[in-house]
Amino acid sequence: MVFRSRPRILALCVLLAAIVLALLAAAMACDCLGSSRAFPRRAENVLYAFLDGEQPSSTAYDALAGYFVKGFMTYRSPDGAYARYPGWPMGEGGPEDQHQDRLEGFSRIAPLLASWLHGGRPQLMSLPSGGTVDAADLLRTGFLAGTDPESGAYWGAIGDHDSRIVEAHDIALALWLSRRWTWDQFSDAEREQVSAWLQGASGRRTVDNNWHLFIVLTDLVLQNLGVPTDRLEIERRYSRFKSFYAGDGWFRDGPGGPIDYYNAWGIHYSLFWIGQLDPTLDPGFLNDTLTAFAKSLKHLIGPHAFPIMGRSVCYRMAVPAPVIMAHIADLPTVTAGEARRALDLTWRHFIRNGAVQRGTVTQGYCGADPRWLDGYSGPASCLWSLRSLVAAFYLPSESAFWNSEGHPLPVEKGDFNLTLTAIDRRIVGEAATGEVRLEMLSTTPAATPKVESYSLFRRVTDALLCRSRRPSNTGPKYDLPEYSSRSPFCDCVASGLDEPR
């Protein structure tokens, strides 16, 4: 009887092998397995400067920038307009999603390169694995290849509700910050080519939320570079977004939209650059709201980072950006030492807990965790975390920010209880533990929201079939009565980095 069953077992094994091979072929055909090139392990040694109790030096941050640029070099396409980072793909993994994943690999590192140059640092960046790379050449190559309709690397025409509108914002910002090394060096034909692609975002229909700011910033960059733009469109979109202001420095992300950390890594980040691009647009409002927001934000940051809540948790290291920007704008809320401390505590905490690996930012809150990765996020999406570094490198190395001892933040100085009446929230700090809590004053859920898991079977089939069926887990992100920095709803397990090499 056992002998007779062997052919059936053999047939079943052959069938299973055929299924696995077919799935692998499908995955390779849809290009969702990521780059086959390995990030050099010895480059990870850069991260150890952030693991002890000392304030990371400016040199450590310079090396961290080089680490991320080395990651880009590792996963970069030969044409320089894309990068195929490893990780879970966005959306359904179709051709458009794959294209967006690779485009973000360039667009979300470009502002870091541009800010590095703008701050007066060497054009030849040192890489942690040895050697140097020309930051300006990386930008010029990417800009020209991606905007050339005749090139196989063309980013494609921008349409209504197109995710390229989001990336055009970062590309435009990088172009403006690096204009001495890029735009000013382009020929007339090259300028026309690059500006024509960016102009594709102008006048497009968008989601009625922070997407308005993407087009405002892109159009202002074009205006600054001498390219004709529709000023009425800029003012209309800006006014529409301004109407979402809730108070205490916080905005809703659209009419009736959520109030979350998009204020830090999306809204005030864009508004600051808009103010830099056009200081006459609305300086009183922009300064007042940034002042108020930075005040609450520095109360939220402490030794355990901050009490995360809301969507896009993988952008976590970008949170200090508005605190740094308030210092840059010379607003009374933040000192240079406080801004530096906010940056140091955030990056130290998350590097210690696995947020930086393989030359990129992991797809989770601490390490990689697909339960908290939104469906619209792909392998390079989390590089928005670099926005706090973009703000920091905007300042020259001789600035007070880079040469100050970190000043204690509110939770390091004493207990506090700060109520944000306009948004119905309270921030509570306990100096003894370093814990910060964000309390939702009017949230009374009937039951604790359940965390939906992401099974191994689902992960494997999603990876092989190039799709994303990750859980949204919206309830835990928004419906808890309070959020704690010491006990984040999305967990935080230490990374366990290997010994330095």
Per DSSP bridges, beta strands 124-126 and 132-134 are antiparallel
What is the C-alpha to C-alpha distance for residues 195 and 208, in angstroms, rounded to an integer?
A: 25
Residue 501 has pLDDT above 60, yes or no: no
With pLDDT > 90 as the criterion, what percentage of the chain qualifies? 82
Instruction: Taking residues 14-18, report their average pLDDT.
Output: 56
What is the C-alpha to C-alpha distance for residues 85 and 72, in angstroms, rounded to an integer?
A: 8
Beta-carbon contacts of 188 under 8 Å, excluding residues fewer than 6 positions away, are none
Give pLDDT tens digits for 378-417: 999 999 999 999 999 999 999 999 999 999 999 999 999 9
Angstrom distances, CA of residue 404 to CA of 61, 122, 335: 14, 22, 10
Give pLDDT tens digits for 321-353: 999 999 999 999 999 999 999 999 999 999 999
**What rounded mean pLDDT belongs to the chain?**
91
Instruction: Dig out the tokens for 112 from the structure.
Output: 């870091």
Give pLDDT tens digits for 136-159: 999 999 999 999 999 999 999 999
CB 45 within 8 Å of CB 501:
yes
Q: Which domains does the chain have, with CATH numbers?
A: 31-484 (1.50.10.20)
DSSP 8-state secondary structure symbol assigned to residue 34: -
Residue 443 has pLDDT above 90, yes or no: no
Indicate if the alpha-carbon torsion angle 58, 59, 60, 65 is positive or negative: positive
Give me the residue label for tokens 């930008």: 139
Give me the pLDDT at residue 3, please: 45
**435-440: strand order across its sheet:** 416-420, 425-430, 435-440, 482-484
Give pLDDT tens digits for 55-94: 999 999 999 999 999 999 999 999 999 999 999 998 766 7
Beta-carbon contacts of 477 under 8 Å, excluding residues fewer than 6 positions away, are 309, 310, 311, 313, 372, 489
Beta-carbon contacts of 334 under 8 Å, excluding residues fewer than 6 positions away, are 294, 298, 323, 326, 327
Q: Which of 383, 329, 396 is nearest to 118 (CA)?
A: 396
Give me the pLDDT at residue 465, please: 73
Angstrom distances, CA of residue 443 to CA of 248, 258, 420, 474: 19, 13, 15, 14
Beta-carbon contacts of 409 under 8 Å, excluding residues fewer than 6 positions away, are 298, 299, 301, 302, 338, 341, 342, 345
Residues shown for the chain = 501
Give me the pLDDT at residue 173, please: 98
Q: Is 90 helix (H, G, I), strand (E, B) or coil?
A: coil
Listed in order, strand segments (DSSP E) in 33-183 are: 124-126, 132-134
Q: How confident is the model at residue 24 (pLDDT cuts 50, 70, 90)?
A: very low
Q: Which of 16-20, 271-275, 371-375, 486-490 has the highest mean pLDDT?
A: 271-275
Give pLDDT tens digits for 461-486: 777 777 778 899 999 999 999 999 99
Q: Is 51 helix (H, G, I), strand (E, B) or coil?
A: coil
Phi/psi of residue 428, nearest 5 degrees: -120, 130
Give me the pLDDT at residue 27, please: 42
Instruction: Dig out the tokens for 166 from the structure.
Output: 């989001």
What is the C-alpha to C-alpha distance for residues 427 and 414, in angstroms, rounded to an integer?
A: 13
